[in-house]
Structure 1
Amino acid sequence: MRTVYLNGQYVPETEAKVSVFDRGFLFADAVYEVVSVIDGKLIDFDGHVARLHRSMAELRMPQPPGREELLTMCRELAARNALTEGMIYFEVTRGNPGDRDFLFPSAELQPTIVGFTQNAPLVDRPQAESGVSVVTLPDRRWQMAHVKTTQLLYASLMKAEAKACGADDAWLVRDGFVTEGSSQNAHIVTKQGKLITHPLDSSILHGITQSAVLELARQGVVEVETRSFTVEEAKDAAEAMVTAASAFVLPVTRIDGVQLGDGTCGPITRKLRETYIEFARNSAI
């Protein structure tokens, strides 16, 4: 049985309880982060903490948990659950005002802080070679996708729709342009060998893994161009890929049934995945 963290205590998962009046439950008034773990160490930890604090500030949530508090929590959760490879999720809600009201409570609440582990293969994955298939679906999320909140219903619906279409996942489209995946950042490699990635605006989540991969790409792997790209351009690309803390770098080998290349991982995607895993191992804490 997993041990989870709840408001300063480490308890069995069956004993972790949050009030029905917690605003995270009633309004999805909560933000979260996912930190990858390999070899028992945390990857890109500081980037995830910084983004958590940015998300809380965007939602005017006070009292962000500090870096050292979160670092202690993550390391303790990994140790107590013998986690060597997988993810640690941590979530902060505005708290429990004791009743339901759309307005933020006038008094400053104590936030609810939750953390838990999830075992998952990250390094050795068959999809790293065979790739994933995606379908393109309308992006109907709210206009603040750069804030990592727990209101993930639309993403869940799109994942279910993709599965019903026989695909692994979905890429979301707004005004003809791909914004991002349902839970990953989306990228393509043109036939001229250039990596295209969406601008960091409010229509996408500013990925921590994405940022690290793009920096590594610029260090001699491939030229990077930041701009929007269309669905048609993606289908005509030499390669496509997604980046995420739970996936690192994975090739996309089919878009709306159209095969890219020979249907397996392309050379630039493979190089970026290998480079990122090496970077992650060397920089994990």
Structure 2
Amino acid sequence: MNRRHLLTLPLAGLAATPVSLPAEARPAPLPVVDTQVWLGQHPWRHLPELSFPEESGVTEAWAGSFESWLHRDLDEVNSRLAERCHRFPGPTRLRAFGAVDPTRSGWEETLRRCAKDHAMPGLRLLPGPHGYDLEHPALVECLAAAAEARLLVQLAIRLEDARTLAQVSWKEVSPAPLPALMRPGLRIQLLNALPTLADRLLLKRLVDAEIRFDHAMLEGIAGVAQFEEKLPGALLFGSYAPFFIAESAHLKLVESALPATTVIDLCWRRAEAWSSHLP
């Protein structure tokens, strides 16, 4: 039995499958909506091109651009991202999440282009690389504009483990101000945030504010199961591919031994419900 097939077994709701099971009799993988993938050239790593093997089950993925970390012309970055998503090969549907830096002049036009010109479903904001915290007045305006434009908002709280981070100085980002910034129509997902949230009361406040998370950097034995037990419903599937190998996100579900209904919810139902207003 190869490793990739092993990953599909729990996701298909099977406790065990004979090693000799022929390929045509194997269960189809569970549909997955991956809420965090990236395209383009990483600033200081040579990463493989993003791809989705058939057995991964990924039917839809929400993509940002590595180029948005350091490039200053975000309009060009977003245009390339939209084109890459449109031309992405294979059956997986890629949805582009554009970058906006609310601290720079002209961000309103960048947001408008994301929503109108490129018909993007959401934004992926990068407070660390772009040098602002979540109390910045411009961010409040940006979130209000995103809600008005019916754009989903993803906030990248962390982009790399500090132990492997290149020698660049990025601001530490605290999500503490976010509950007070929530408003009707505003939908926020925090990317790679869970390793930084040692404050359980803050985490509970964020969940109570209907802020969502991905599980790409969720660590610990049966970490997904523990999170689901304490704060059910707040996690969406997110792999951080290709920065992380996509299989790691599946393995987190496998080793947590989740009920089949929870796996289905985490893999696609929650993302589908959270983005239900999108065309």
TM-score by length of 2: 0.27
Higher helix share: 2
Higher strand share: 1
Compare CA radii of gyration and give the structure with the larger one: 1
